[in-house]
Amino acid sequence: MLLEINQLFFSYNPEKKLFHNLNLRISEGKIIALAGESGCGKSTLLNLIYGLLDWEKGEIIFDGKPIFGPKKNLVPGEPEMKLVAQNYDLMPYATVADNVGKFLSNINLVEKKTKVMELLAVVGLEEYASVLPKYLSGGQQQRVAIARALSVMPKLLLLDEPFSNLDFSRKVELRERLFNYVKEKNISMLISTHEIQEVMPWLDQIIVLQEGRLIQNDSPEETYKNPYNEYVAKLFGEVNVFSDDEKKHWNLTKNFWFPHEIKISNGENNDQKMKAEVLESRFAGNHFWNKISLNEKKLVVYSEQPLKNTVDLEFT
């Protein structure tokens, strides 16, 4: 096991505990999302794993060795673990290339330069090699920090919201190159995000935190198909939530239905019990977004064509 967290207790303030008996295992070569809404403890957990905070009880074991907080270990971080936090901590008077090469040996400068350019290609910044960080946008600086972290070939890379400062097309390019690179090099990656959808195709595992509690730890498919609760389901976008009574009343197979899972027929079959009234129908790119009312319950469903009047619903 690459990382083990056993019975961890941590709080910033004694009245409000954040982590209460947190347990977690991460194996080698996995890409894992640490998901949950703002304030649930994602950044704190990454900082604890990296040894930037002292915890009250419990242990964090990385690659067979215990991690200590700043009280016991003044220089945080292990050689084979890197954290890219939301402040990127670049050297302001060194070029992008020098920042990326900071941890690389100077014995063979040709080899070093090749490696730096390879890493800059992974994050899409080859043409910025000789630029100073202050001339880069926040998103570009973050990519320099990611390249620098990759340079040491860590066994575990911790990334705090790595795509938060990027526009959509940059994000698409970066995530594909980055994820392919870490998979190829067998680097484990723990990425905090509140946008699971953005990284979902590359994930091996999703860990969900809710107010410091680890409430689900499953494969992406399992998490999506069987979310532990409404909070987890909502991490994947809009969702229709049915109470247990409603589920029973309409004879549904589950409580949470994503808009595309509810099928629409044209409303001509009057025997159908699931007749619903269309309240709104709006163009949303590759589908129409519809607000409908099923016996006063408001639902969101997607359709290929705009809807009007009444429709029949099928929960399949």
Ligand X SMILES: Nc1ncnc2c1ncn2[C@@H]1O[C@H](COP(=O)(O)OP(=O)(O)OP(=O)(O)O)[C@@H](O)[C@H]1O
> In this complex, which beta carbon is closest to ligand X, that of residue 95 or of residue 165?
165
For ligand X, the binding residues in 170-229 under the rule CB under 6 A are 194
- Which two tokens mark 82? 């890197």
Pick from 259, 257, 247: nearest CA to 291: 259
Task: Give min distance, CB of 80 to ligand X, in A.
Answer: 24
Q: Which of 40, 81, 191, 239 lies at the binding interface for ligand X (CB under 6 A)?
A: 40
Task: Give min distance, CB of 66 to ligand X, in A.
Answer: 22
Which position has the token pair 């215990």? 66
> In this complex, which beta carbon is closest to ligand X, that of residue 40 or of residue 157?
40
Return all residues near 189 (Cβ < 8 A) that are at least 6 apart.
Answer: 30, 31, 32, 156, 157, 158, 159, 179, 182
Distance CA 166, CA 222 (A): 29
For ligand X, the binding residues in 43-82 under the rule CB under 6 A are 43-44
List, edge to edge, every strand of the sheet that includes 81-84.
81-84, 156-160, 188-193, 31-35, 205-210, 213-218
Task: Give min distance, CB of 212 to ligand X, in A.
Answer: 7
Task: Give min distance, CB of 207 to ligand X, in A.
Answer: 12
Planar angle of CA 39, 41, 44, nearest 5 degrees: 120
Distance CA 215, CA 235 (A): 13
- Which two tokens mark 306? 């705009």
Pick from 303, 231, 239: nearest CA to 266: 303
> In this complex, which beta carbon is closest to ligand X, that of residue 18 or of residue 116?
18
Q: Which of 14, 15, 38, 127 lies at the binding interface for ligand X (CB under 6 A)?
A: 38
Q: Which of 3, 5, 18, 104 lies at the binding interface for ligand X (CB under 6 A)?
A: 18
Judged by CB under 6 A, does residue 234 bind ligand X?
no
Query: Applying CB under 6 A, which part among 31-39, 76-84, 105-113, 178-186 lies near ligand X?
Result: 31-39
> In this complex, which beta carbon is closest to ligand X, that of residue 44 or of residue 188?
44
Judged by CB under 6 A, does residue 42 bind ligand X?
yes
> In this complex, which beta carbon is closest to ligand X, that of residue 194 or of residue 291?
194
Task: Give min distance, CB of 268 to ligand X, in A.
Answer: 47
Q: Which of 10, 41, 190, 257 lies at the binding interface for ligand X (CB under 6 A)?
A: 41
Task: Give min distance, CB of 34 to ligand X, in A.
Answer: 8
Pick from 289, 205, 227, 282: nearest CA to 27: 205
Judged by CB under 6 A, does residue 290 bind ligand X?
no
Q: Which of 1, 7, 12, 248 lies at the binding interface for ligand X (CB under 6 A)?
A: 12
Q: Which of 39, 66, 201, 306 lies at the binding interface for ligand X (CB under 6 A)?
A: 39
Task: Give min distance, CB of 287 to ligand X, in A.
Answer: 29
For ligand X, the binding residues (CB under 6 A) are 12, 18, 36, 38-44, 194
